[in-house]
Amino acid sequence: MLDNKQQSIKSLIKDFAANSSMHGLPKAAESKGNFRKFIWIILTLIGSGIALQHVAKIIILYNQWPLSTVVTIENNNRLDFPAVTICNMNPAKRSTLKLKVEELGFHDLVDLINTADERRKGEENSGEEEEVAEEEHDEENTADFYEALTAEYKIESAFISVIGAMNTTDRQMIGHSIEDMLIACTYEGRPCSARNFTSFYNFKYGNCYTFNGNPYITPRKLETKKPGPRYGLTMELYIQETEYSEFLADTLGAKILVHHQGSMPFPEDDGVSVSPGMSTSIGLSQVILERSKPPHGRCKTYTEEHNKEINVFAEFNNVSYSEKACMKTCYQKNVIKECKCCHFDFPCEGQPLDEVLVDIKETPVRRCNETIDESCLDRVLKEFELEHLGCIDICVPSCSEIVFTTDISTGTWPSKPLITRTVNKVKNVYRKKNITTDIFDELEDTGDRLKFLRRNVVKVEMFYKQLNYERITATPAYDWSSLVSDLGGQAGLWIGFSILTAVEMLELLYEIAKLIGRKMFGTGRVEDIKKVNMVQVQPIESSDKC
């Protein structure tokens, strides 16, 4: 019985090989002579091996989920104007900072401010001594040099920490106000004012102000219908150089950040620094980024609720999701969890932090101290930089994002015909607020006025260079159709294998399984019994009757 079964399977396989649509196999089965049969078997095996090798490479490539980037330039007759955030480089006015620090009892910091004031008053008579001291400092050894840098950093951090511990009202009071800074503003030739700006606090730059950032403030969406400086935003800013503190700002000017409306700006990481005495032109180009979803990419579409769960800035500033905001939230969450304090750079309360704030006995949670909590903060920062905190998995990029590229050009400003007019703009700011100051008493001649403007007033223009935008789309470079196409191409090239060949193989397996089932379960050898009815015809004998 077994021999009959083996013989039947062998005949099925031989019949399949002889009639298969796969190249080489019929030749190997039907060739006359052992040598020719051997050659065709070898060629078929070689072709099959090469085909399998290429198929394996194709499958590996497909499982890597590769992406291709498609860049297109799309024209439009109008574009939404972006949000523009401005920050004074100096986070706190020296005059009000000294009073507030003294009120809070930070006597060491008060002494530092007094020493700086005395040094500032004597700068005109000690210029040469300062240069000599700097040269001597440059000759010190490397270790002392780094110790000096660390001391400066700690002083700056101490001031930032004290300011961060103040309540919102006090922080706004010691910082530069938009009413004091904004001396001229136009959008497409139409006047704008401080009422068109919304404010937020930044740990590094203090009070920052955003134009066109909040849809609830702007009555209608601002659109640009023409390119060029005349059809953008132009501002003149008075930065109040006399209020700068050397411990908080070493650069005169303002920070300008262009971003999509509704996104959280981070001027400490992004933006353009503009200098007084200069007119800075910022030409804008809009870029739309479209990322690929899993499995090819790792982007995600965030709902408003999900954004509030992982973005601590969303609750207070009504901003949309951004990867950077999420990463900062995750870092702050781990600082609170490990160090039992909150970092002064970021908000200390909000829905994303509620989970770790429950374990903190102090309410509200204390601000971290650079001296007391230094080792813990350094440890968390190191873990964050090494991506050991899991933030990279929580903060997945958004599938769609709008960013802006900038082209920057500068020129000396103002020209002589504009000197008096610009000084009068600054004076008007104080007249409107009924504030008297002796700042302008010494600005009688043109030279003094020009010197004042070159150290105190910034002009900046922001506009679209062209009314088109760039769309960068990440698409699967190797999708399912490409996989099937390449598999069929390689298998067909080397051994002539196709979908129909696979069907033939399935048919063979079915016939083999059916044959084995009949032999094992039952029916034995099936014989057809033909019944033949035979009719015998006999001759009828007849008798002659006479």
| Tally of structural domains, the chain | 4
If asked whether residues 116 and 83 sit together in one domain, one would say no
Flag whether 537 is in a domain. Answer: no
**84 and 214 within one domain:** yes
Q: Residue 105 falls within a domain, yes or no?
A: yes
Does pLDDT of 151 surpass 60? no
CA distance 287 to 465: 13
What six digits make up the tokens of 516? 């084995």
DSSP 67: E
Instruction: Examine the domain organization and report whether 203 and 244 are in the same domain.
Output: yes
pLDDT exceeds 90 at position 541? no
- Helix, strand, or coil (residue 29): helix
Question: Both 362 and 227 in a single domain?
Answer: no
My answer on whether 233 and 284 are in the same domain is yes
**Contact of 192 with 211, CB cutoff 8 Å:** yes
Per-residue pLDDT at 529: 41
233, 223 Cβ separation under 8 angstroms: no
Q: Which residues contact 10 (CB under 8 A, 6 or more apart)?
A: none
Tell me how far apart the alpha carbons of residues 223 and 205 are, in angstroms, rounded to a whole number. Answer: 29
> What is the average per-residue pLDDT within 343-359?
86
Output the CA–CA distances (angstroms, integers) from residue 396 to 219, 298, 355, 487, in the order listed: 33, 7, 20, 33
Q: 476: which strand partners?
A: 67
Predicted pLDDT at 533: 47
pLDDT digits (tens, 9 = 90+) for 190-213: 999 999 999 999 988 999 999 998
Looking at the structure, tell me whether residues 14 and 98 fall in a common domain. no
Same domain? For 483 and 464 the reply is: no
Lowest mean pLDDT among 67-81, 115-129, 318-332, 471-485: 115-129
Q: In this model, does residue 317 exceed pLDDT 90?
A: no
As a whole number of Å, the end-to-end CA separation of the chain is 71
As a whole number of angstroms, the distance between CA 125 and CA 121 comes to 9
Of the residues 398, 431, 451, which one is the last residue of a structural domain? 398
The residue out of 174, 194, 217 marking a domain boundary is 174
Separation between Cα atoms, residue 41 and residue 126, nearest integer Å: 97
In a domain, 122, yes or no: yes
Task: Specify whether 76 is located in the same domain as 190.
Answer: yes
User: Is residue 80 in some structural domain?
Assistant: yes
What letter represents residue 71's amino acid?
V
Give the pLDDT band (50/70/90) at residue 86.
Answer: very high
**Residues 111, 82 within the same domain:** no
Q: Which amino acid is it at 432? A: K
Q: Which domain holds residue 74?
A: 70-92+178-299+405-474
138 and 248 both lie in a single domain:
no
Q: What Cα–Cα distance (Å) separates residue 124 from each residue in 24, 54, 247? A: 97, 79, 20
Determine how β-strand 79-80 pairs with β-strand 223-224: antiparallel
Say what the pLDDT of residue 134 is.
46
Asked if pLDDT for residue 145 goes beyond 50, the answer is no
Angle of helix 94-104 relative to helix 107-121, nearest 10 degrees, comes to 150
User: Does any domain span residue 534?
Assistant: no
pLDDT tops 90 at residue 480: no
| Distance from C-alpha of 422 to C-alpha of 88, rounded to nearest angstrom | 19
pLDDT at residue 132 greater than cutoff 60: no
Digit-coded pLDDT (tens) for 485-517: 888 888 888 888 888 888 888 888 888 888 888
pLDDT of 307 higher than 90: yes
Q: Do both 110 and 196 map to the same domain? A: no
DSSP code for 33: S
* Mean pLDDT on 160-181: 83
201 and 88, same domain (yes or no): yes
What confidence score (pLDDT) does residue 427 get?
Answer: 84
> Does the pLDDT value for residue 105 go beyond 70?
no
CB atoms within 10 A of CB 6: 10
- pLDDT-derived band at 526, boundaries 50, 70, 90: very low
Which residue, among 203, 198, 196, 239, has the nearest Cα to 218 in the 3D structure? Answer: 196
Report yes or no on 542 lying in a domain: no
DSSP secondary structure letters along 404-420: EEEEEEEEE---GGGHH
pLDDT confidence bin for 133, thresholds 50/70/90: very low
Q: 3-class SS at 28?
A: helix
> Which is nearest to 63 in space by CA: 352, 482, 526?
482
CB burial readout 13-22, b (16+ within 10 A) else e: eeebbeebeb
Distances (CA, A) of 489 to 24, 300, 368, 493, 512: 17, 35, 64, 6, 29
Q: What is the mean pLDDT of residues 304-330?
A: 90
For 290, the 3-state DSSP assignment is strand
Select the more confidently predicted residue: 504 or 52.
52
Q: Which of 2-16, 87-101, 521-535 has the highest mean predicted lDDT (pLDDT)?
A: 87-101
Q: Is residue 289 part of a domain?
A: yes
Is 462 within a domain?
yes
Last residue of a domain, one of 174, 194, 219: 174
